[in-house]
Amino acid sequence: MSEKIIHINADEFESVVLKSSIPVIVDFYSEDCAPCEVLAPIYEKMVDKYGEYIKFVKILRQTNRDFAKSINVSSSPTVLFYKDGREVGTRLNGFMNKPQVRIAIEEILGEVIPKEPMQRIDCDILILGAGAAGLSAAIYAARAKMNTVLIDESVPGGQTASTYHVANYPGTPGVVRGNEIIQNMREQAKSFGARIDDLKEIAEVKLMDKIKHVRTEDTEYYAKAVIIASGAKPRALPAENADEFKGRGVHYCATCDGSMYQDRKIVVVGGGNSAVEEAVFLTRFASHVTIIHQFDNFQASKTAQEEAFKSDKIDIIWDSEVRKVNGQGHALTSVVIENIKTKQLSEVPTEGAFVYIGTEPMSKMYQGQIDMDKWGYIAAAEDTKTNVDGVFVAGDIRTKLIRQVVTAASDGAVAGIMAERYMVSNKI
């Protein structure tokens, strides 16, 4: 933990934040919070770069809940900016990446930061993305004695790291936290010699040339083969006012924000494994959970469905989609749903909505260079080869039927081996 980061409580807020002579960034965080764990190293990275110009403060929301509520902070993490004793800029909450935090800081500071000099790194295999697929690929490529570099715009882990528990990963004792799997994979990849550069903002990707080129904010990478493992992100709720209430009633992580709904009624949107499993998890806190699903049956596993059906705290609204989110100030009050068969609208009172309606691939930066399907997933068969020579794809970003941690790791293993064979067969 950097000594430049100041930890305070509510009593110190006025003297440390409001009376500061320089701008202040304040992180309201919680313990045992996946997005908070993702933000922590980003915060460390930012304080090293901007600590001379802006004060970095952290407040544990769990022990300062009343104060947090008084300034309308109701989820973790929530990042606020202050200048000359008042809040400025745009609040950030939930899962954040480095570009989001950097841009928000630079909007407050203006152009006072000197540009960093660029450095160059050459390697055999460059892996884009450090989730289960990317780390698995790094393990296999590095073990094959390839000069392997893995870069990620966030911290290693992807969606796996933010999963509260994984109950079906082979070789684990029943249930394990996703972050534990990632930490083990990360250490294994490093033990074989892989280099992992996290918190890198990818500005440009060139895949068509024999030597591939990727530019970040401070480094230019040149590689003989590339494995794309950028993954996917949760799909946002496509309903009126959903963005406005993100982090203030609309959530995408039950582990992070479920505890704030103790003895309250909430809804879960979706019907796959994540939605049903998280609905069951949320019954630990909520007095009642209503699952809203667009179909008349779940797509979740039989085990997950059985747990949901036997809970007296859960009921289900079938064949329906959320059309609008209603609230007053910073509090959610209801969602408006439409029955997709009858087209009838109805209102469901709720104080919180947790959304699990699938994912969307992180593939925008590769558009125009590589074949994709109509949803943006990169086209490749089980051999992970793309239409571009020397470029492979693994994990949730690939066209495939099943997206699980184990299939991502499997893709990574195949991609690592295929990239190494590409290097050997082409005598590169």
Given 152, 198, 257, 396, the catalytic residue: 257
Task: Pick the closest to residue 388 from 366, 403, 373 (CA basis).
Answer: 366
Query: Which residues 6+ apart lie within 8 Å of 37 measured at CB?
Result: 161, 179
Cα-Cα end-to-end distance for the chain: 42
The total of other beta-carbon atoms located within 10 Å of residue 10's CB is 15
What is the helix (H) or strand (E) element at residue 307, kind and residue range? Answer: helix 302-310
Given 33, 36, 123, 256, the catalytic residue: 256
> Is 32 noted as a catalytic residue in this protein?
no
CA–CA distance, 168 with 176 (Å, rounded to integer): 9
Task: Pick the closest to residue 50 from 8, 110, 95, 120 (CA basis).
Answer: 110
Strands 202-206 and 265-269: unpaired
DSSP classification of residue 341: T
Q: How many residues does the chain have?
A: 428
Given 33, 36, 123, 253, the catalytic residue: 253
Task: Pick the closest to residue 234 from 247, 221, 251, 249 (CA basis).
Answer: 251
Query: Which residues 6+ apart lie within 8 Å of 319 measured at CB?
Result: 293, 294, 295, 296, 339, 340, 341
The total of other beta-carbon atoms located within 10 Å of residue 201's CB is 15
DSSP classification of residue 61: G
The total of other beta-carbon atoms located within 10 Å of residue 400's CB is 17
The phi, psi pair for 366, rounded to 5°, reads -105, 0
CA–CA distance, 35 with 246 (Å, rounded to integer): 14
∠84-86-88 over CA atoms, to 5°?
100
> Is 123 noted as a catalytic residue in this protein?
no
Is the CB of residue 175 less than 8 Å from the CB of residue 307? no
> Is 33 noted as a catalytic residue in this protein?
no
Instruction: Match 């796996």 to its residue by tokens.
Output: 160
The phi, psi pair for 427, rounded to 5°, reads 50, 45
The strand ranges marked E within 152-259 are: 195-197, 202-206, 212-216, 219-228, 232-234, 250-251
DSSP classification of residue 372: B
Catalytic residue numbers, as ranges: 253, 256-257
